[in-house]
């Protein structure tokens, strides 16, 4: 593990070690396994991975879940560089056949919450039975929406971070630790 990394024109310093991330995922998986123990092969939960950032988190979570589920994906975006644009764009729409299903949204990070609000609206339009939010990271200081975040692995301050699925202009997703922008 490196103390500092450079992506494009920015330097980042180590912020959260992989071991800490893995422990937080273990805790979330235990809760999900308990809460979704009544799923059946006929009525599996849908794990809805938000591309691209949540891929690593979703993969790690999947390895720990022991109830019947289906993996689906969608892609919404609101970031350009290191800042949110405030506009949520749907790049890959929700999958079909969600009506009456229990959906667990898997997010890499929730900050202002615009993406989560948009996703919940879309899920309501698809007439899902239930939708829960599971996020690896929450920037609690800037989250100001009414949508309940049911499963939060870790809270982080309002800083720009990369690694474990999070990127800076598409680089850094594959780094196993999380790094913070070094001012």
Rounded-to-integer distance, Cα 135 and Cα 112, Å: 13
Q: What is the pLDDT of residue 89?
A: 78
> Before 65, cis peptide (omega within 30)?
no
| pLDDT for 79 | 60
- pLDDT for residue 182: 94
Q: Is residue 79 part of a domain?
A: yes
Q: Is residue 5 a part of any domain in this protein?
A: no
66 occurs within a structural domain: yes
Only one residue has tokens 């309940």, namely: 148
Q: How far apart are CA 123 and CA 106, in angstroms?
A: 13
Domain count for the chain, please give it: 1
- Residue 28: predicted pLDDT: 98
User: Would you give the DSSP letter of residue 163?
Assistant: B
For range 149-177, the mean pLDDT: 97
Residue 31 has pLDDT above 70, yes or no: yes
The H or E element that residue 107 is part of is strand 102-110
How much is the mean pLDDT over the chain? 94
Q: Which CATH number is 59's domain given?
A: 3.40.50.2020
Q: What number is the average pLDDT over the span 138-147?
A: 96
> Does some domain include residue 176?
no
Mean pLDDT confidence for 54-75: 97
Tokens of 57: 């988190």
Catalytic (active-site) positions: 111
């Amino acid at each position: 593990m490196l103390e500092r990394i450079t992506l494009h024109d920015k330097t980042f310093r180590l912020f959260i070690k992989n071991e800490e991330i893995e422990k937080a995922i273990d805790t979330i998986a235990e809760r999900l396994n308990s809460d979704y123990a009544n799923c059946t092969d006929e009525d599996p939960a849908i794990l809805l991975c938000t591309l691209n950032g949540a891929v690593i988190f979703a993969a790690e979570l999947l390895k720990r879940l022991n109830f019947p589920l289906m993996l689906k994906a969608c892609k919404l975006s609101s970031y350009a560089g290191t800042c949110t644009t405030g506009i949520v764009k749907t790049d890959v729409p929700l999958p079909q056949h969600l009506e009456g299903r229990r959906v667990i949204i898997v997010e890499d990070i929730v900050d202002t919450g615009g993406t989560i609000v948009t996703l919940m609206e879309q899920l309501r339009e698809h007439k899902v039975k239930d939708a829960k939010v599971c996020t690896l990271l929450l920037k609690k200081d800037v989250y100001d929406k009414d949508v309940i975040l049911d499963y939060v692995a870790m809270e982080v301050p309002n800083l720009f971070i990369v690694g474990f699925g999070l990127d800076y202009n598409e680089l850094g997703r594959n780094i196993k630790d999380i790094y913070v922008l070094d001012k």
